Structure formats: C-alpha cells, structure tokens
Structure 1
Amino acid sequence: MIRVLLADDEAMIRAGVRAILTTDPDITVVAEAGDGREAVELSLAHRPDVALLDIRMPNLDGLAATTEITRVVPGVAVAILTTFSDDAYVARALDGGALGFLLKSGDPRELLAGVHAVAGGGAYLAPRVAARVITSLRSTGLSRASTARARAESLTTRERDVLALLGAGLSNARIARRLGLVEGTVKGHVSAILTRLDLDNRVQAAIVAHEAGLIAD
C-alpha cells in the first residue's frame, strides 16, 4: 500500500485529488495539510511514502517544503502537484529534491502513474512538462550533450544500463526485473551513479541520461 500525504491550501482541491487517489486500491491518503509547514510536520509524524505538495501555500510554499521534507525525512518521495508549470518552478522543485512534477490540469491517470513511479523510487514528469524539459535540453546544443556523454562514459557498462532505465522513469524494482538483478544490487548501482556523477537525485540522473543519448525520447 502506498501511503500519501496531500498538501494544498484549498480544501476542495484536496477533496478532488483525494477522490482520484482513492480510485486506486493500492493508494491510501494518510494525512492532509493546508500549508507547507504543516506538510513538513505531518511528514515527520506519519512518514508517508509520497508527499504530494502544491506550490503556492501559506507559511511555507511547496518548493521550500520540498527542500525541508527531503532534508528531515529523506525516506519520503516528494512530488509537486500544481497548476504552475513555469520552467523556473520545475527547476527549483527538482533541485530541492522532488522526484515528480505533476499538473492539476493533467489526466487523472497521470496523477496515479506519478504516485506509483515516485513511490517505487522512480522519477515522473507530467508529459507536457517532460516535453519542455527535453526541448530545453536540445536547445542547449552539442556541448552539453558531449559533456553528458563523457560523464556517462566514466560509469561501468552495468551502471550505464541502469542509468538508461532510470532515465526512462523505471523504479528500482522494474530495473531489476529488466536486467535480471536483485533490487538491492540496483539500489547500489543507483547510489554509485549519483556519487560518481556528483548528482543529488534520480531526476538529475534522468536528465543526464537524456543529454547523453542513452534513451529514446
């Protein structure tokens, strides 16, 4: 069962999101918060698998709450659920440790897929957000791609295999099944990749995988 904390300052929005989440028998909402500070406190109290945070909330906005939750409760996977898809928001959320960025205007199936992905240790960007990220990466030119390829070449063959699947959004469990490994071994490879490439999280690793051309768009 995936345990979710839902944080949004609008009660009607929380009710609607909760209604969507509860259509999935593998997801349960264990706590709700009306502001960012409360979201941090409830994350500490309930230790959910996933924290779904709006960006614009009183006391502490969702971006600041993301940074705080990933710092004090590192076992919680944070995903942003918002109406704001500005590139600056996406960048700040990912830099703060969020593993997912979802849009309230998206298909409800995207919300469920995103929760499952980040709960399993994967990363998930709403399709509209992902398309913009990829376009942005392409626009930076060959120098960034060549740098990413050089970084990827510093990895072992197996680590590059894991990085490619990580970039495709697969969880550790799915990577393990795809490569015929045990999940603990995959976790070790992911940790080694982040350390050797000097990355903070899986989303940054996924971007390197795209830039290096390890996966299909």
Structure 2
Amino acid sequence: MRDERNPFGEVPPPDPVRVVVADDNPVVRAGLTALLSGREELEVVAEAADGKEAYEATLAHTPDVVLLDVRMPGVDGLTALPHLVPLTAVLMLTYSGESDIVHEALRRGANGYLVHGEFTSDELVTAVRDARRGRPHLTPTAAGRLLAQLRGEGDADSAFGGGARGSWPDAGPTSTKNLSQLQPDVAQSVSDKSAYGLSAREAEIMELIASGMSNQQIAATCFISEKTVKNHINRIFAKLHSTSRAEAAAKWRGEERSSAQGSGGGRW
C-alpha cells in the first residue's frame, strides 16, 4: 500500500543556532542569554567575560555565532576577533560606535556590528540567525561611521576588498596560539581614552552620552536609576573638565573644537 502520511510530517526541525555571549557586564550577559534562549532555534551554549574566555568557549562548544563586546578587561574584543573568525561567525554587540573601531572590527572579519540601543529584540535575533548564514548586519551608528570614513578616505574598494566571512574585509593572518599570551591592543590604540581616568562604568555612560542618549535612556540601558546616572555624569564632567554634555562629547571623541554652546551649560 502507498504511504498516505504527510511527507513533511517526519522532517526534523533545523538545528538551533548555537551562540556564545561575550561581555564583561554580567547584567548584559544575563539579559542577552535570557532573550536569546527564549527564542526558537536559538541556544546560548556559553557566556564569556572577555576575549580569552570567548576563544576558549568557542573551542569547547563550537558555536555558530559569537556575540562579542569591544571593550573588555583582559583580552578585549578586537584582540580576540581575528582568532575567532576562523572558527565561527562573530557579531560585534557593543556600546562602542567610533568609526575607527567599527572599521577595524569589520576589517578583522566581523560579520556585523550592532550598537546597543539601536535595535529591537527581534532585530537582534534576526542578526544572529543571519550571521550563521554569512549575512551582515549594521545598526545606524555603525553604518554611518563606516560610510563617513569611507567617504573621507575615498577607499571603499580597499575597505571591502577582503575575503573574510560574508563580504567583510580580510581579517589578515591569524594564529590559534593561547590567547592568555595576548594583551589588549586595538581597543586602546584605536581609541585611547584612559588618560581621562574614567572607570569602566563611567566610560560606558560617556559613550551613551556621546551617542545622544538622554538620562532616562541611559538609566534604562544600564539598569540603573536616573539619580545614579546624574551622579556618574557629575564625576565624568569633573574628570573631563567639561561643563556640558556637548563639550564632554567633543573631548571624548577627540574633537579639537568645543561644542559647548547651545548645550544649556551644565544642565541635565
């Protein structure tokens, strides 16, 4: 007798996208893990607090995608990136939106670059799924920074002329030596702001100020109160010798001109 069963009834579901989440902020890691684990066809197989742990987790769990922050203590994301891209797809997920860092991450083989606060949960899930397929994603800040840099350099061909995953640039020669022997390099050399003496949290908040976020948005993003945000901003202004958000942002970005006018002085 002919089998009358539905020919598609026995088709197994696709394998889940296996993800490693790498971020030094435990609250961010937990939030991302909860968000991704609650979606069909996604599975967080490990978390990591820096690039070294991300590399070791990738070797141990063979994920399809690594979500990688840029600024982390120990081995930072840009240092670890070229060691990860031969093993899996890497999607940058960070607060750092400076043009040089965006360009360097893509040059080193990242499949995409997402800046916190510029995507929805559904968009993040789509970006993770697409990363496994080699489809790149850029959030507006990353796309704008990259475009501005390419226009300024007039060198779009060289910027996109490599052979890494998808259509991103070549990550260059890589080595699988133990990352414990490496030291952070690019995140500091590309955007060295340590001279200001900001703490990791203050630097994170300063990045959000520079991106144009309000205190309320910063509080929601960092899971802290608006009063705590204001306290951080007071300390940031003191360390940057600034009296306004615009002036602080200009110094943080390394701009020579002061953009203090029109900022409302030191008002929050």
Query: Counterparts of 1:188-199 in structure 2 under 5 Å?
Result: 199=163
Shift of 1:202: 2.7
Residues 1:7 and 2:19 aligned together: no
Q: Does 1:81 align with 2:86?
A: no
* Pairs within 5 Å for 1:138-153: 138-140=151-153, 144=155, 148=157
Please list every run of 5 or more consecutive structure 2 residues that lacks an aligned counterpart in the other structure. 1-15, 170-268
The TM-score, its normalising length taken from structure 1, stands at 0.63
Q: 2:44 maps to what in 1?
A: 29
- How far has the Cα of 1:33 moved from its partner? 0.8
CA RMSD in angstroms comes to: 2.3
Following the alignment from structure 1 to structure 2, what is the Cα–Cα distance between the partners of residues 134 and 64? Answer: 23
Q: The residue matched to 1:204 in structure 2 has which SS?
A: coil
Q: 1:57 aligns with which of 59, 65, 72?
A: 72
Of 120, 130, 141, the residue aligned with 1:117 is 130
2:214 aligned with 1:202 = no
Is 2:23–2:49's contact at 8 Å kept on the other side of the alignment? yes
Indicate the SS of the match to 2:46.
strand
Q: 1:135-174 alignment to 2 at 5 Å?
A: 135-140=148-153, 144=155, 148=157
Q: Would the aligned equivalents of 2:111 and 2:168 in 1 still touch at CA under 8 Å?
A: no
| Contact 1:49/1:119 (8 A) holds in 2 | yes
Aligned to 2:56: 41
Q: 1:202 is paired with a residue of what secondary structure?
A: coil
Whether the 8 Å contact between 1:94 and 1:203 is mirrored in structure 2 is no
SS of the counterpart of 1:80? strand
The answer to whether the Cα contact below 8 Å between 2:95 and 2:116 also exists between their aligned partners in 1 is: yes
How far residue 201 of structure 1 moved from its aligned partner, in angstroms, is: 4.1
Q: Percent identity?
A: 39
TM-score, normalization by structure 2 = 0.52
Q: Which structure has the larger Rg over C-alpha atoms?
A: 2
